[in-house]
């Protein structure tokens, strides 16, 4: 079992003819993802990836012709908002946006529109999703994880990879890994994914990777205490970050006492979450329980 993506996912890649889009489309296709179409205005009628994937001028045409149900976006920040709006209008039910540097005002407009359309967005500024053995949408390396019963949700791309590989080294697998991204305004948050993992019968354990900045982890801790029955393990990055400094992600900034690693760890432990000091400790913590 999995959440969000599986063997039935039919993917359209927006920006497939660009360097990043083409490279990662090949990786997704080789992993086994059903990459059924790509888009690039003015390139409609072409084929890419050794003639395996058709290119269309718009997402709407790609969906109508191929039955795509998921979009992944590899376009520059100045075009990304319009790309998300175009995908939302096409009929796909899931949009994954990897683009970083999208202005907050653009994301406010996009989020409002997507909420009205009831279309789920993962990202922006995220590594995407991976359901080991079935499908990958985004840039998470497929060889660092094996199928299993551990659901992983993370704000940090690099730490996502580290945790998945650490689990694999202990012969522990993931049901689905969701990289939600670290921007201040995104489409899917910790609570959304926690709820999906709670309802997934094949996910027995949840790993949540957070970082400094904002209050998402504190909100997740409150939700966990009230609604999650499965064991949750966590790691919070940025414990040594100086106040007022932005560390990597746009949302990873500490103001005063709000958003510190210490406050997040305190809230999570109060909710019964086991919090690791280092991400590579998580597999042993799970095995120890």
CATH number at residue 102: 3.40.50.720
Evaluate whether residue 135 is within a structural domain: no
Evaluate whether residue 5 is within a structural domain: no
Residues 154 and 264 in one domain: yes
Strands, sheet with 10-14, edge to edge from the N-terminal-most edge strand? 47-48, 53-56, 34-39, 10-14, 70-73, 94-97, 120-122
> From CA 132, how far away is CA 236, in angstroms rounded?
24
Evaluate whether residue 133 is within a structural domain: no
Give the number of other CB atoms < 10 A from CB of residue 120: 18
pTM of the model: 0.94
Q: Give the residue among 185, 264, 259, 183 at the shortest CA–CA distance from 222.
A: 264
Residue 202: exposure state from Cβ atoms within 10 A (0-12, 13-18, ≥19):
middle
Give the total number of structural domains in the chain: 2
Q: Do 182 and 160 contact (CB within 8 A), yes or no?
A: no
> From CA 59, how far away is CA 91, in angstroms rounded?
9
> From CA 211, how far away is CA 275, in angstroms rounded?
12
Instruction: Give the per-residue pLDDT at 252.
Output: 47
Residues 144 and 99 in one domain: no
> From CA 150, how far away is CA 203, in angstroms rounded?
6
Q: Which of 62, 96, 122 is the last residue of a domain?
A: 122
Evaluate whether residue 87 is within a structural domain: yes
Residues with active-site annotation:
249
Residues 107 and 162 in one domain: no
CATH code for position 229: 3.40.50.261
Evaluate whether residue 130 is within a structural domain: no
Backbone angles phi, psi at 119, to 5 degrees: -110, 130
DSSP string, 244-281: T-B-SSTT-B-BTTBT-HHHHHHHHHHTT-EE-SSGGG
Question: Structural domain of residue 53, as residue ranges?
Answer: 10-122
| Torsion angle, alpha carbons of 50, 53, 54, 57, to 10 | -110
pLDDT per residue as tens, the chain (289 positions):
589 999 999 999 999 999 999 999 999 999 999 999 999 999 999 999 999 999 999 999 999 999 999 999 999 999 999 999 999 999 999 999 999 999 999 999 999 999 999 999 999 999 999 999 999 999 999 999 999 999 999 998 899 999 999 999 999 999 999 999 989 999 999 999 999 999 999 999 999 999 998 899 999 999 999 999 999 999 999 876 565 555 555 454 445 556 899 999 999 999 999 999 999 999 999 999 7
Residues 118 and 166 in one domain: no
Instruction: Give the per-residue pLDDT at 244.
Output: 55
């Amino acid at each position: 079992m999995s959440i969000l993506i599986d063997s039935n996912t039919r993917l359209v890649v927006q920006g497939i003819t660009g360097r990043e889009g083409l490279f990662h489309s090949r990786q997704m296709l080789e992993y086994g993802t059903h990459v059924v179409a790509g888009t690039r205005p003015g390139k409609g009628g072409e084929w890419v990836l050794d003639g395996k994937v058709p290119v269309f001028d718009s997402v709407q045409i790609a969906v109508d012709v191929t039955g795509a149900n998921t979009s992944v976006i590899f376009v520059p920040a100045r075009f990304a908002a319009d790309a998300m709006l175009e995908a939302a209008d096409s009929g796909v039910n899931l949009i994954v946006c990897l683009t970083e540097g999208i202005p907050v005002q653009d994301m406010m407009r996009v989020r409002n529109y997507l909420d009205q359309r009831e279309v789920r967005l993962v990202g922006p500024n995220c590594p995407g999703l991976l359901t080991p053995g079935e499908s990958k949408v985004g840039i998470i390396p497929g060889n660092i994880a094996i199928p299993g019963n551990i659901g992983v949700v993370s704000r940090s791309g690099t730490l996502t990879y580290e945790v998945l590989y650490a689990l694999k080294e202990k012969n522990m697998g993931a049901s689905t890994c969701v990289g939600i991204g670290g921007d201040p305004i995104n489409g899917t948050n910790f609570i959304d994914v926690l709820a999906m993992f709670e309802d997934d019968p094949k996910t027995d354990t949840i790993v949540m990777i957070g970082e400094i900045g904002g209050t998402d982890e504190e909100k997740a801790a409150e939700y966990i205490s009230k609604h999650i029955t499965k064991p949750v393990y966590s790691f919070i990055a940025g414990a040594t970050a100086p106040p007022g400094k932005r560390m990597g992600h746009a949302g990873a900034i500490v103001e005063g006492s709000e958003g510190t690693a210490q406050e997040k760890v305190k809230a999570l432990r109060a909710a019964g979450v086991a919090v690791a000091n280092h991400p590579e400790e998580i597999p042993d913590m799970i095995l120890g329980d």
